[in-house]
Structure 1
Amino acid sequence: MTPLSIFDAKTPLPDAALAAREKTLLGFDTRYARVHDQLRLLLNLGELANWSNRHHQKKLALCDLVADQYPLVIFHGDVGTGKTATAECIANRLAKESRTEDSLLFRLSNRVRGSGKVGEMGTLLTQAFQEVTQSAGRTRRAILVIDEGDSLAAARTQEHSHHEDKVAVNTLIQCIDDVRRFNGRVVVFLCTNRLSALDAALIRRAAVVEEFRRPSDAERRDLFTMDLDGLSLTASQIAQLVTVTGASAGRPSWTFSDIRTRLYPAAMAKAFPDRPLAFEHLYEVASTLRPSPVMEDK
């Protein structure tokens, strides 16, 4: 396996496609505002001394304590709630706001788990972090997004934890420890469906832990209103779609992904190519499809 295959994507930031994508993420601005200040601080730890001298006429002891935090952000929550997309878009907006024209976003591939050879997963993780840190160099910024983080960072105390998995967790922890020397110019976003499955040492290191939940009735209403603009649906029809995609009879409510990657294509397939897309198509599909099962976090 070559180092190039360790990553699913390497994207220079700021990126126009990610900037456009954030506009489709319902509630993005609210979530971004909630984590913005802490992430901005995390990405600029090297500037704390200058800030302190400017505003306090000396370097506060607190600066060293804060600068010692780990550059790790954990996004957790149910499947299909937009964790990875939000991580990428947040990284993009931060790069744009800081006018950092040479940032690079890496998305780690699940191929990093390797083929099962002894020591392979740990070696591939080390190679991945080496490439990320080399990209940062002395002045640039690099952001690494790890999807399905529980597949790499499951608790080492679990009875079924394999030796290779424990080595991978140890390697991941060591790599995150090591990138602290970059003073915030290298940051890791780890996304997981099961926070409780992560190793406790990783959770303790996270500077930010943010939960993602399935959309509420109001959020699904806003989503349908935004996505179905141009179909001239009535408020009553939108309300019916909200109801039919809500929790009922022991079923959970629909996720963002359920609606956009399953409901919309299936409804459009009923209309294409001879009829216009109508409310009836959307409602029929929503009434027959089942939402994704809840990923139990135990």
Structure 2
Amino acid sequence: MTADSDLFGDVLEYPDAGAQRRFAALVGINHIKQRLVDEASVLIDPHFLEQWSAKHYGGTLNLVRVVEERTPLIVLAGDVGTGKTELAESVGDPIARRIELESLCLYPLSLSARGRGLVGEMTTLVTQAFDRVRSSLGQARDSQGKVRNAAILLIDEADAVAQSRELDQMHHEDRAGVNAVIRGVDSLRRDRVPVLTIMCTNRPDALDPAVARRAAHIFTFARPDEAERIQVLSDALAGTGIEAADIAEAARQLGPTEFRCCAATYSDLRQRFLPDLVLKAYGENVPISGDALISAAALFTPTRPFKSGDD
């Protein structure tokens, strides 16, 4: 039996104030955030959708049953640095608060769970991961059937585990691993277990079609546009006294230009550009100026877009 430390990364539990702050800090994707919380809440506990139906229609609509029959699987797809993993790791907090869970745990599947290519190994590890998450719930529902404890299984870089079986060069062991993933998510739907699987991928086209078909929703992420870059910069630079016109110019410079084919990602802005700006001013023991902001933006090199065939 494989140890949990070999199957999963750091397990996170919600509600959690740190995750709440991380979720709130994700700007520019509010439409995705809200829809994801709505989708996940209903997939984990359909009881709330039934309550909505009873309130407005006096009973449970057939349409509600259609929604409840979906597989508890959500795919977050898009370019690198657009917030997929950060959202997946923090969305458990608003979900737990929304449906009043006592506990919601996130289990990030370790990439080592792909195995070493040995016959049957990947299948065994993936199967164990689903089984371990299910067994972690204990008594998931109260006496009225309301979900009290739930879990999220996070599969980052999902195309590494659920790559299309249509590829001619695909190894037999990898095909078996994809089958194990499909069996796992199907069993969650069949047994109505309050476990949501979230897959993140930079290559949605590489996912096996049978996996993609099962997804209750596929959310597509893009790099921030100019208005969204302005919002990120404005929020971060509040209190510096930098004028709005300078922030707007920096946001423009951080987009595509005649010298740059692509815009900065959310990750570029939060993890590279803004920290570099602060540390440069700190090192020189000067305040951050509008000119310094614009100059840094003009010289910044965004993360290149992910292309099929990249490692």
Verify the 8 A CA contact 1:149 1:190 in the aligned structure 2. yes
Name which of 276, 282, 302 aligns with 1:272.
282
Structure 1: distance between partners of 2:32 and 2:58: 34
Verify the 8 A CA contact 2:246 2:293 in the aligned structure 1. no
Structure 2: distance between partners of 1:120 and 1:283: 52
Judging changes above 3 Å, is the alpha-carbon distance between structure 1 residues 274 and 169 closer, same or farther for their aligned structure 2 residues?
Answer: same
The answer to whether structure 1 residue 157 and structure 2 residue 166 are counterparts is yes
SS in 1 for 2:10: strand
The answer to whether structure 1 residue 261 and structure 2 residue 271 are counterparts is yes
One-letter amino acid of the structure 1 residue matched with residue 255 of structure 2: G
Instruction: Kindly tell me the number of residue pairs found equivalent between the two proteins.
Output: 298
Cα deviation, residue 50, structure 1: 7.3
Verify the 8 A CA contact 2:19 2:90 in the aligned structure 1. yes
SS in 2 for 1:215: coil
Residue by residue over 1:196-252, the C-alpha shift from the partner in whole angstroms, topping out at 9 and shown as x without a partner, is: 110100110011111111000000000000011122111121022111100123511
Verify the 8 A CA contact 1:104 1:142 in the aligned structure 2. yes
2:303 aligns with 292
Cα deviation, residue 28, structure 1: 4.8
One-letter amino acid of the structure 2 residue matched with residue 113 of structure 1: R
TM-score scaled to structure 1, two decimals? 0.90
Verify the 8 A CA contact 2:250 2:298 in the aligned structure 1. no
SS in 1 for 2:233: helix
Judging changes above 3 Å, is the alpha-carbon distance between structure 1 residues 233 and 171 closer, same or farther for their aligned structure 2 residues?
Answer: same
Report the more deviating stretch, 85-94 or 26-35: 26-35
Report the more deviating stretch, 272-281 or 79-88: 272-281
1:247 aligns with 256
Verify the 8 A CA contact 2:49 2:64 in the aligned structure 1. yes
Structure 2: distance between partners of 1:24 and 1:163: 42
One-letter amino acid of the structure 2 residue matched with residue 12 of structure 1: E
Structure 1: which 5+ residue stretches go unaligned? none
Verify the 8 A CA contact 2:19 2:91 in the aligned structure 1. no
Report the more deviating stretch, 24-33 or 40-49: 40-49
2:246 aligns with 237
2:234 aligns with 225
Cα deviation, residue 273, structure 1: 3.2
Judging changes above 3 Å, is the alpha-carbon distance between structure 1 residues 137 and 181 closer, same or farther for their aligned structure 2 residues?
Answer: farther
Structure 2: distance between partners of 1:61 and 1:236: 53
One-letter amino acid of the structure 2 residue matched with residue 10 of structure 1: V
Verify the 8 A CA contact 2:230 2:251 in the aligned structure 1. yes
Report the more deviating stretch, 279-288 or 156-165: 279-288
Verify the 8 A CA contact 1:7 1:109 in the aligned structure 2. yes
Cα deviation, residue 8, structure 1: 1.4
2:146 aligns with none
Cα deviation, residue 277, structure 1: 4.4
2:138 aligns with 137
Judging changes above 3 Å, is the alpha-carbon distance between structure 1 residues 232 and 160 closer, same or farther for their aligned structure 2 residues?
Answer: farther
Report the more deviating stretch, 64-73 or 186-195: 64-73
Cα deviation, residue 256, structure 1: 0.5
Judging changes above 3 Å, is the alpha-carbon distance between structure 1 residues 270 and 182 closer, same or farther for their aligned structure 2 residues?
Answer: same
RMSD: 2.5
Judging changes above 3 Å, is the alpha-carbon distance between structure 1 residues 43 and 297 closer, same or farther for their aligned structure 2 residues?
Answer: farther
1:31 aligns with 32
Q: Write out aligned runs for 1:37-186 (5 A).
A: 37-45=38-46, 61-62=62-63, 64-139=65-140, 140-183=149-192, 185-186=194-195
Verify the 8 A CA contact 2:223 2:265 in the aligned structure 1. yes
Structure 2: distance between partners of 1:158 and 1:252: 30
One-letter amino acid of the structure 2 residue matched with residue 18 of structure 1: A
One-letter amino acid of the structure 2 residue matched with residue 296 of structure 1: K
SS in 1 for 2:9: strand
Structure 2: which 5+ residue stretches go unaligned? 141-148
Residue by residue over 1:106-155, the C-alpha shift from the partner in whole angstroms, topping out at 9 and shown as x without a partner, is: 12222212233332222211111111101123412111111111111111
SS in 1 for 2:125: helix
SS in 1 for 2:71: coil
What's the % identity of the aligned pairs? 35
Q: Write out aligned runs for 1:193-232 (5 A).
A: 193-232=202-241
One-letter amino acid of the structure 2 residue matched with residue 90 of structure 1: V
